Amino acid sequence: MSGVSREVPSVPSALELAGEPKDELDPELLALPDPPRRERTLTVVVLALAALLSLAMVFALRRDVVYALTSSTPAGAWELQTVSAETLAASENHLVRAEGLVGAAGGIRYERPFLDDTFRTLPVAGREDVWVDVRVPAGQESGRWEPPRTFTGRLVRFGAGGPRHRGLASAIERATGHKVPAGAWLIVDGEYPESARWTTLLGILFLGFAVWNVMAIARIVRKVS
């Protein structure tokens, strides 16, 4: 019985494979324009700037966020005429309770947008380093108004009470001619930690926005490389 011969396909050697011509580049790909480097760089710069501004807002809100997370139980029951600077420093940016006589003649009266109530910032009688910020309900502002003698609110230094009290020291100096001492204390009457909870949400929002911008920059840079 005669066998049937079959041809076995030969396996190409490595030399033969090496000698085969490579695939040519697609001319259509070569004809595409270069990536817009200038526009990409501008995008990265804008995202980086937005991230920095968001982090700056988080930094500016840090004290308000900390105050929103503090205890709602006021510290101490002080007499403002005699409380020491060390005691005040130990309760900075916390809810405090104090009582004392304030001088209505040495303070200022101001208003805030979208509020009918007015506000007065008054010095403690006999002291220049402790002041009280009081809210006067609408309709009670008159020549017979008398400031309270008991205060419960946030204790901060001038200039560290948030955007609502920014520039307050300079406004007092312009109105009264007396300069507020450096490091003077301010009790914001009626400002409780619960009223500052919105700053926590705002801080989280800005922090998330900063993280999103940083991740977007990372994606753009990774595609380029």
Q: Both 88 and 141 in a single domain?
A: yes
Q: Both 147 and 174 in a single domain?
A: yes
Q: Which range is least confidently modeled, 39-43, 144-148, 162-166? A: 162-166
Residue 137's pLDDT is: 85
Residue 140 has pLDDT above 80, yes or no: no
Identify the three-state secondary structure at position 129. coil
Q: Average pLDDT in the 130-150 region?
A: 83
CA distances from 83 to 51, 76, 86, 100, 158 (A): 43, 10, 8, 10, 18
Q: Both 180 and 220 in a single domain?
A: no
User: For the chain, what is the radius of gyration of the CA atoms?
Assistant: 34
Answer whether residue 55 is part of any domain: yes
- The whole-chain average pLDDT of the chain stands at 83
CA distances from 84 to 36, 77, 89, 132, 187 (A): 64, 13, 9, 16, 15
Range of the domain at 203: 39-70+194-225
Q: Both 55 and 159 in a single domain?
A: no
Q: Both 181 and 113 in a single domain?
A: yes
8 A C-beta contact, residue 195 and residue 67: no
Q: Both 53 and 82 in a single domain?
A: no
Neighbour tally for 102: CB within 10 Å? 25
Q: Both 78 and 176 in a single domain?
A: yes
Answer whether residue 2 is part of any domain: no
Residue 147's pLDDT is: 84
CATH code for position 136: 2.40.50
CB-count burial class (<10 Å; 0-12, 13-18, 19+) for 165: buried
Q: Percentage of residues in the chain with pLDDT exceeding 90?
A: 42
8 A C-beta contact, residue 61 and residue 54: no
Q: Average pLDDT in the 169-186 region?
A: 87
Q: Both 62 and 81 in a single domain?
A: no
Q: Both 115 and 203 in a single domain?
A: no
Q: Both 219 and 132 in a single domain?
A: no
CA distance 142 to 64: 32
Pairing between β-strand 185-189 and β-strand 150-157 as defined by DSSP bridges: antiparallel
Which residues are paired to 151 by β-bridges?
A: 98
Q: pLDDT, tens digit, for every residue of 16-37? A: 545 555 556 667 656 666 557 7
Residue 208 has pLDDT above 50, yes or no: yes
8 A C-beta contact, residue 106 and residue 176: yes
Largest distance between two CA atoms of the chain: 133
Positive or negative torsion for Cα 20, 26, 29, 31: positive
Q: pLDDT, tens digit, for every residue of 44-90? A: 999 999 999 999 999 989 999 999 999 899 987 889 999 998 999 99
Q: Both 94 and 79 in a single domain?
A: yes
Q: Both 122 and 66 in a single domain?
A: no
Q: pLDDT, tens digit, for every residue of 181-192? A: 888 999 999 999
CA distance 51 to 207: 9
Residue 15's pLDDT is: 45
Considering the entire predicted model, what is its pTM? 0.73
Number of separate domains in the chain: 2
Q: Please give the full DSSP string across 134-153, using - where no structure is assigned.
A: EEE-TT--STT----SEEEE
Neighbour tally for 184: CB within 10 Å? 18
CA distance 65 to 58: 9
Q: pLDDT, tens digit, for every residue of 106-123? A: 788 888 888 888 899 999
Answer whether residue 85 is part of any domain: yes
